[in-house]
Amino acid sequence: MSKLVKAFIGLAALMALTALLPTSSFAKEVTLQEPIGTKVPVGTKLTATNTDVVAKITDANGNTLAECTSVSMTGTLVKNEPAAVEATIEKAEIKGTVGITPHTTHCASSLGGTLTPTTNPATNGLNWCLRSTAAMAADEAQIRGGGCTEASRPIRLVLDFSVFGECTYQRTAAVPVTFTTSPTAANITVSKSEFTKFAGSVLCPAVEFFDLTVSFYTDNAEEKPVFFVAGP
């Protein structure tokens, strides 16, 4: 038997074996660990803060409408298995440094004046659910409205422009995010996530796009970084 024929037989056997393997790949299965090698217990409180990348809000033409220098989230880990990692986000704040001390909470706006984002409007506000499952692509997660043990619902954000008032935006589909795996600490990134106008002045842009990156830590005095670690 020639080497070429043997190679084809070996390739055919490998393809047949691959077809029998589970559809979820090693890279898609992760758990949250701290330190690496130790799973974070369910019920652990987590906090997230922005990296050196600011939260950015842009319009449909790519123009930057606002940049916010501070993003923070806190929540609770409710599931931590290779098939699914889930954390309910219970608090989220987006702030800037514009204003008179100590009220430096507004974001600079290119539309004039300042912008104050609110993540907990009267309806469809917090809680949110951050989740990654083995059915998703590698390094993919999602943020949806409603806590992880609650029914899914849209997410609403209110942008209060000092020039022309409140503009409420909504996203029905989950917000897609990407995350980093070990040895890099757990970061999640939202890129050009589209929210459509739900209510507000005729001056409110029809759509808004959000970009941000945050890093996750244990929500205690030590504030240790946590890690998404790939593997079953």
pLDDT tens digit string along 74-95? 999 999 999 999 999 999 999 8
Q: Which amino acid is at 61?
A: N
Beta bridge partners of 113: none
Query: For residues 55 and 163, what is the distance between their CA atoms, to the nearest angstrom?
Result: 21
pTM attached to this predicted model: 0.83
Query: For residues 212 and 48, what is the distance between their CA atoms, to the nearest angstrom?
Result: 12
Nearest-5° angle of CA 158, CA 159, CA 160?
110
How does pLDDT run across 148-197, given as a tens digit for each residue? 999 999 999 998 888 888 999 999 999 999 999 999 999 999 999 999 99
Under a CB-based contact definition with an 8 Å cutoff, are residues 186 and 215 in contact?
Answer: yes
